[in-house]
């Protein structure tokens, strides 16, 4: 019998990955949203290993990734069949139907409880994000405006989705449980709006105008540097809608606020809307990666209902490719998002990728490291 036809497979796959993590006694992981992050149980490191509780998968930047059964194989160093036996016991020639049904229900119950728990955490994060957003004030005359000017971003008009917070705490998950404040100070807030326009999350940039790029230097509990930018709440299918003029039919989207605002200021496409996609994963959505050469093929998985889709008025969708990440895989991800838009939005008749140039971030270009706006032309 082939391993993939093993009747125990369905039972093994129904075990929540969190339970497998417990049973494998993987230690040192801390929880951030739907993920658990920490050192890889096999190759160590710091935060290279992650478990996505909702999708039931793990990934190590060094060892690779897979599902719960793959995780057992990785940690125990065993083959697929041995992993199945470890998870659900030896194969039984005849499973008592009543026992099989009891097990199925038990798994169903655990899965439902896990989903309710995830939903509760998601709602709590959105409420916290909304509270922070409400504490923000308009950016005019504040350190947020000064930060944008530092980045040469003299916006043509103030954006309603940007605000200023004078004293925002920076919290990290405490390895001993709960949360710990490791920094506090002025921050730029950006509202993330969901597909229907409602508020779903807040993006925060902690500021320090004494530093060349205006971002705060934040040091974590273990002495490691922390990102000055963080998301709270959801970003699924959302965007930071910097500017949307009346009657626009063209949407220009970069990953970050600065890149997108740079294109807005360059005014490469007059009367276009400029939205930031928050992160590349949101813009790309899930991709089909099985098969040879698919890593760079940029084929979207159209079953992904969470990825960004442009609003109905968009006829021309333009993604800005930052040059400071690996170009081939970045391009594949952007292509995936553009193809999803074409497949799901009949009005989208044109899609483009604009590239600032290898190794160049569009805002770095504006900051004067590279010649002016030559890079901002459509390709
Ligand atoms: Zn590893």
The CATH number linked to 14 is: 3.90.580.10
**CA of residue 289 to ligand 1 center, whole Å:** 21
Does 14 lie in the same domain as 29? yes
pLDDT greater than 50 at residue 370:
no
Does 205 lie in the same domain as 258? no
Distance CA 277, CA 259 (A): 10
Which residue blocks in the chain are alpha helix, DSSP H? 9-13, 17-23, 68-76, 80-88, 97-135, 143-150, 257-266, 280-284, 327-344, 362-364
**CA of residue 378 to ligand 1 center, whole Å:** 40
**CA of residue 279 to ligand 1 center, whole Å:** 24
With respect to residue 102, please indicate whether it lies within any of the assigned structural domains.
no
Q: Averaged over 199-207, what is the pLDDT?
A: 97
Does 368 lie in the same domain as 304? yes
Does 10 lie in the same domain as 140? no
Does 343 lie in the same domain as 319? yes
Does 7 lie in the same domain as 76? yes
**CA of residue 304 to ligand 1 center, whole Å:** 27
The number of distinct structural domains making up the chain is 3
Does 271 lie in the same domain as 151? no
**pLDDT tens figures, 74-99:** 998 999 988 998 898 887 656 677 87
- pLDDT at position 359: 59
Does 350 lie in the same domain as 245? yes
Does 257 lie in the same domain as 222? no
DSSP string for residues in 82-115: HHHHHHH-SPPSS--HHHHHHHHHHHHHHHHHHH
With respect to residue 198, please indicate whether it lies within any of the assigned structural domains.
yes
Neighbour tally for 210: CB within 10 Å = 8
**CA of residue 64 to ligand 1 center, whole Å:** 7
**CA of residue 150 to ligand 1 center, whole Å:** 40
With respect to residue 323, please indicate whether it lies within any of the assigned structural domains.
yes
**CA of residue 194 to ligand 1 center, whole Å:** 35
58 falls in which pLDDT band (50, 70, 90)?
very high
With respect to residue 260, please indicate whether it lies within any of the assigned structural domains.
yes
**CA of residue 117 to ligand 1 center, whole Å:** 28
With respect to residue 107, please indicate whether it lies within any of the assigned structural domains.
no
**CA of residue 222 to ligand 1 center, whole Å:** 20
**CA of residue 22 to ligand 1 center, whole Å:** 18
**CA of residue 65 to ligand 1 center, whole Å:** 9
**CA of residue 251 to ligand 1 center, whole Å:** 40
**CA of residue 224 to ligand 1 center, whole Å:** 20
**pLDDT tens figures, 213-269:** 999 999 988 788 899 999 999 999 999 999 999 999 999 999 999 999 998 988 877
Strand 273-276 and strand 240-243: pairing? Answer: antiparallel
**CA of residue 55 to ligand 1 center, whole Å:** 19
Domain stops at, among 88, 107, 138:
88
With respect to residue 103, please indicate whether it lies within any of the assigned structural domains.
no
Cβ neighbors of 3 (< 8 A, separation 6 or more) are 80, 81, 84
**CA of residue 226 to ligand 1 center, whole Å:** 22
Q: Give the domain range for residue 326.
A: 235-379
pLDDT greater than 60 at residue 330:
yes
- pLDDT at position 130: 97
pLDDT greater than 60 at residue 374:
no
Q: What is the pTM of this model?
A: 0.73
Distance CA 173, CA 179 (A): 5
**CA of residue 158 to ligand 1 center, whole Å:** 45
Does 354 lie in the same domain as 217? no
14 falls in which pLDDT band (50, 70, 90)?
confident
Range 223-245 burial, b when 16+ CB lie within 10 A, else e: eeebebbbbbbbbbbbbbbbbbe
**CA of residue 48 to ligand 1 center, whole Å:** 7
**What CATH number does residue 258 fall under?**
3.40.1360
**CA of residue 57 to ligand 1 center, whole Å:** 14
**CA of residue 41 to ligand 1 center, whole Å:** 7
With respect to residue 94, please indicate whether it lies within any of the assigned structural domains.
no
Does 183 lie in the same domain as 172? yes
Distance CA 308, CA 238 (A): 6
**CA of residue 81 to ligand 1 center, whole Å:** 21
Domain stops at, among 185, 214, 233:
233
Given a contact cutoff of 8 angstroms between Cβ atoms, the answer to whether 43 and 62 are in contact is: yes
Rounded percentage of the chain residues whose pLDDT exceeds 90:
54
With respect to residue 190, please indicate whether it lies within any of the assigned structural domains.
yes
Distance CA 266, CA 295 (A): 33
Domain stops at, among 184, 213, 233:
233
Does 241 lie in the same domain as 219? no
Distance CA 274, CA 252 (A): 5
Distance CA 233, CA 126 (A): 4
Phi-psi sector, 152: left (phi>0), alpha (psi -120 to 50), beta: left
**CA of residue 74 to ligand 1 center, whole Å:** 9
- Chain-centre distance for alpha carbon 18: 21
């Amino acid at each position: 019998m082939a391993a993939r036809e093993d009747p125990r497979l369905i039972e093994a796959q129904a075990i929540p990955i969190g339970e497998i993590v417990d049973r494998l006694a993987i230690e040192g992981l801390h929880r951030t949203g739907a993920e658990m992050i920490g050192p890889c149980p096999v190759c160590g490191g710091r935060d290279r290993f992650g478990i996505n509780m909702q999708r039931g998968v793990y990934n190590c930047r060094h060892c690779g990734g897979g599902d719960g059964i793959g995780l057992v194989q990785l940690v125990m160093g065993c083959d697929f069949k041995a992993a199945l036996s470890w998870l659900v016991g030896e194969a039984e020639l005849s499973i008592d139907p009543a026992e099989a049904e009891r097990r199925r229900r038990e798994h169903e119950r655990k899965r439902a409880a896990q989903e309710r728990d995830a939903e509760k955490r998601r709602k709590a994060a959105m409420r916290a994000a909304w509270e922070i957003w409400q504490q923000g004030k308009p950016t005019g005359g504040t350190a947020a405006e000064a930060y944008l000017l530092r980045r040469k971003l003299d916006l043509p008009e103030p954006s309603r989705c940007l605000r200023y917070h004078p004293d925002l705490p920076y919290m990290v998950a405490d390895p001993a449980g709960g949360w710990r404040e490791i920094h506090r100070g002025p921050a730029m807030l950006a509202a993330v709006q969901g597909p229907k326009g409602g508020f779903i999350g807040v993006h925060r940039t902690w500021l320090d105008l004494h530093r060349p790029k205006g971002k705060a230097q934040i040091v974590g509990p273990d002495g490691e540097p922390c990102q000055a930018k963080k998301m709270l709440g959801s970003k699924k299918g959302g965007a930071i809608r910097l500017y949307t003029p009346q009657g626009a039919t063209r949407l220009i989207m970069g990953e970050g606020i600065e890149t997108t605002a740079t294109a807005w200021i360059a005014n490469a496409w007059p009367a276009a809307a400029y939205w930031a996609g928050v992160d590349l994963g949101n813009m790309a959505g899930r991709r089909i990666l099985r098969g040879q050469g698919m890593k760079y093929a940029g084929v979207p998985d159209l079953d992904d209902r969470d990825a960004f889709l442009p609003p109905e008025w968009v006829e021309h969708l333009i993604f800005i490719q930052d040059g400071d990440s690996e170009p081939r895989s970045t391009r594949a991800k952007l292509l995936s998002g553009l193809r999803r838009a074409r497949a799901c939005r009949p009005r989208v008749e044109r899609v483009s990728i604009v590239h600032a140039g290898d190794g160049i971030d569009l805002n770095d270009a504006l900051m004067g490291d590279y010649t002016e706006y030559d890079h901002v032309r459509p390709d």
